[in-house]
Structure 1
Amino acid sequence: MRLLAVDFDYFFPVPQDPKDPLASLYAWAHFETPYHLGEVWERRALSFLLRGLPLPQAQGWEGFWERFAFAPEARLYYADSNALAFHPEVRQGVREVVLFDAHHDAGYRPLAEEPSCDDWMVFYARQGARLRVFYPSWRDPSLEPEPAVPVERAVDPGGPVEGVFQRVFLCRSGAWVPPWADGAFFAFLEAAPLPKVALEAVARRSWDLEGLQRRVREETLGLMIMERLRGLF
C-alpha cells in the first residue's frame, strides 16, 4: 500500500535566506493551538499591510493532482493537523509514504507516545514503511535537522510521479498556512479526483481583511509604533 501525503504548506513559500529583507515578517512561531490557528494571523497580516505589502499567498497548487495515478479504490483523507496522517484509517497496510511537504516531519525533538505534526513519519518507520520526502522548489533542505529515522529526501523535480497510490492524506497545517489562504486550500481539496473523508472538522477560518485594511488606514501611526516596540519595524 502506497500513501501519498501532502501538507498544504508545500504551496506557501517563505524566504529561506535570513538576509532577505522580508525574512523577519515570516519569523513565526508554530504551535498547533487555537491561538496559532486563528488569532495570531491578524497580527502577522498587519506586519505586511502596514508596509503596503500584499499578503503572501499559496502558490503552485493548480494541476498538482494531475501528476499522480490513483488506484480505483483510492480515497483521500484530510485534516488540519499532519499528526492525523498516522490515523488508523490512513496507516493500515501502508508500506511506503511519499510526502510532499516543506518539512520532513521525521522528528525534531524527543518523541512522545503519540504522533504529532512533526514526528508522525517516525511512527511509519516503526511499522517498516519506506519514507520519501519531496520538498518544494523554494525550500532549502539543508535548513532542516537530520531526520530521526531514514528518509529519502529531495527537492521536487516536478512532472509525473511514478507508481500508483492507494491512499492519500492531505492536511491544511493552519498553524503554518494563514486563514486568507483557506480558499485556495478548499479549492485544492475539491480538485482532488477522489472520494474524500474528513478525519476532523476543517472549516474556513474567520477572516476580515476589509476590517484590517480599515484599521491600518485609521491607526497607522499607533500600529507602527507597536510594531517598532516589538522590533518588527
Structure 2
Amino acid sequence: MPDVLSAALDLPGFWWLVATIAAAGIVRGFTGFGTALIFVPVAGLFLPPAHVVAVITLTGLASTAALLPRAWGQADRREVSLLVLAALPMVPLGLFIMDRLDALTVRWVVTGIAGGTLIALVSGWRFSGKVRLPGLLGIGAVAGVIGGMTGLTGPAVILFYLAGRAAAQSVRANTILFLAALDVVIVANLLLRGFAGWQLVWLAGLLAIPYFVTTMIGQALFDPTRERLYRYAAFTVIGLAVVSGMPVWS
C-alpha cells in the first residue's frame, strides 16, 4: 500500500469524514447543494483550513460526474456562466486570505457563514424581482472569495436562488452547474499554489467513493413535487454539521 494512502487511512477522524461526506452526498443529490455546508465545519475539526479546501473541492469533482448530465439540460447556462466568470478572478483572493489567517479564525468564519446561511434560509427570507448583471457579477464574486477562503463554494449562490421564486428543479440545476465549475477553478488554483499534495489527493479519492454512491441515491430520491421536504431535510443536516463543527468543541 502506498505510504500516502496509508497516511490518509490513518488520519485521525477519517471515519467521521467518511460518514459526513456520505450524508452530504444524499443532501447534494436531492437538493443540488449542501456538501460544503455539511462537510467543511466537521472537517475543520481534523484538518487545517488549506487541507479542508483542497479535500472538499477535489472530492466535489466526483459529484460532477453524477449530477452534471441532467443539470446541464435544465440549467440557465447563460446566467450560471456570468456567475462563474465573476467568481473566477476572486478565488485566488480567497486563497490568499485563507493562507494568512490562523486555523481557529477560519473555523469561526466557516461557522458564521454556514450558520448565517442556514438562518436566512430557515427564516424564509425572500426577495422579488429580477437580479440584473451587476447583481449577478457581485454574487459570483462573493462566492469566489468565500469558496477560496473556506471551501464553502455555495452560500452566496444558494441564498440567491433559494430566496427567489424559481422552481426547485431550476434551483437545483443552476446550483449544480455553478458548484461544478467553481470546484474546477478552485482545484486548479490549489494545484498551482501547491496546496494539494498526494496524501490529500488519496484522501479525496477515498471520500469520493461513498460520496458518489450517496449522491446517486439522493438524485434518485429527487422529486420536484416534494420541494418542502427536501429543503427542510437539508436544513436539518446542515444545522447538525454547523453545531458539531463549532470551534468551542475543540
Whichever structure has more helix as a proportion of its residues is 2
Select the structure of larger CA radius of gyration: 1
The TM-score bracket by the shorter chain reads under 0.3
Whichever structure has more strand as a proportion of its residues is 1
- Greater relative contact order (Cα < 8 A, sep 6+): 2
* TM-score (norm: length of structure 2): 0.25
